[in-house]
């Protein structure tokens, strides 16, 4: 079975385990950084309501679910642009289809609760310079591009999801993390400051999200396994510094 199985998901209930994995990630990062509001949303309860009747979600829960699904849908196409052309060409069609599906489900959830939620805009290589150079000027190879993309885009994903969940994320820390991470993974910087390294170590726990989705949806995906290995290795490396 491959990631194409995910394209069979159509109804809000189908995304209950998906949302639960994403919300657990958001909360884990927020608690690890001691951000206020980490427990404002009960992710397990919201996932149960999404599974049984999405119209039973409270406005706050519906906002969390819809914002998370929109972010997940919008994430992958920009991510592909950071990676080698062969990767982007192989995945762009299913990625776009999945984005449309996630948008429809998010709209149904938000509409039932009467809330308005917008999708985030993720950075693409053309939007970014690193130490005064084009974003990918000093980065080659799949793994290095993968890490650079994740270091930037999972930060942007978290900021969007955290805002919808009522989590207070210091804007100064976000700006510093973006600046240092771009320079570290794609430029001249040799190390991260302690606060940024801690933040990125927690953000690189998205290997748990990959593993959970792979398991819960019985994907048995080699692609997901590859992602998980790269993310886990980087998280462990940051923890050991």
10-32 tens-digit pLDDT:
999 999 999 999 999 999 999 99
* Residue 51 to residue 67: CA distance in whole angstroms: 17
* Residue 10 to residue 225: CA distance in whole angstroms: 24
* Residue 186 to residue 149: CA distance in whole angstroms: 9
pLDDT digits (tens, 9 = 90+) for 46-76: 999 999 999 999 999 999 999 999 999 999 9
User: Quick one: DSSP state of residue 126?
Assistant: G
pTM, to two decimals: 0.96
Asked whether the CA dihedral 152, 143, 187, 128 is positive or negative, the reply is negative
pLDDT digits (tens, 9 = 90+) for 91-124: 998 899 889 999 999 999 999 999 999 999 999 9
Compute CA distances 209 → 71, 139, 160, 204, 205, whole Å.
Answer: 14, 26, 17, 10, 8
């Amino acid at each position: 079975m491959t990631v194409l199985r995910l394209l069979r998901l159509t109804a809000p209930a189908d995304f209950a385990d998906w949302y639960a994995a994403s919300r657990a990630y958001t909360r884990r990062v927020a608690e690890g950084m001691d951000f206020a509001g980490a427990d404002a949303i009960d992710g397990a309860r919201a996932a149960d309501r999404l599974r049984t009747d999405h119209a039973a979600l409270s406005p706050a829960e519906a906002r969390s679910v819809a914002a998370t699904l929109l972010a997940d849908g919008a994430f992958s196409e920009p991510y592909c642009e950071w990676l080698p052309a062969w990767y982007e060409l192989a995945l762009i069609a299913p990625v776009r289809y999945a984005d449309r599906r996630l948008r429809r489900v998010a709209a149904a959830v938000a509409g039932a609760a009467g809330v308005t939620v917008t999708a985030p805009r993720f950075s693409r290589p053309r939007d970014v310079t690193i130490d005064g150079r084009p974003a990918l000027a000093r980065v080659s190879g799949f793994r290095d591009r993968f890490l650079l993309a994740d270091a930037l885009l999972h930060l942007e994903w978290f900021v969007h999801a955290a805002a919808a969940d009522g989590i207070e994320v210091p804007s100064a820390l976000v700006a510093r993390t973006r600046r240092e991470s771009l320079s570290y993974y794609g430029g001249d910087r040799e190390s991260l400051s302690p606060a940024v390294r801690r933040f990125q170590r927690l953000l690189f726990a998205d290997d748990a999200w990959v593993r959970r989705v792979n398991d819960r949806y019985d994907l048995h995906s080699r692609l997901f396994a590859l992602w998980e290995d790269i993310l886990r290795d980087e998280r462990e490396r940051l923890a050991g510094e």
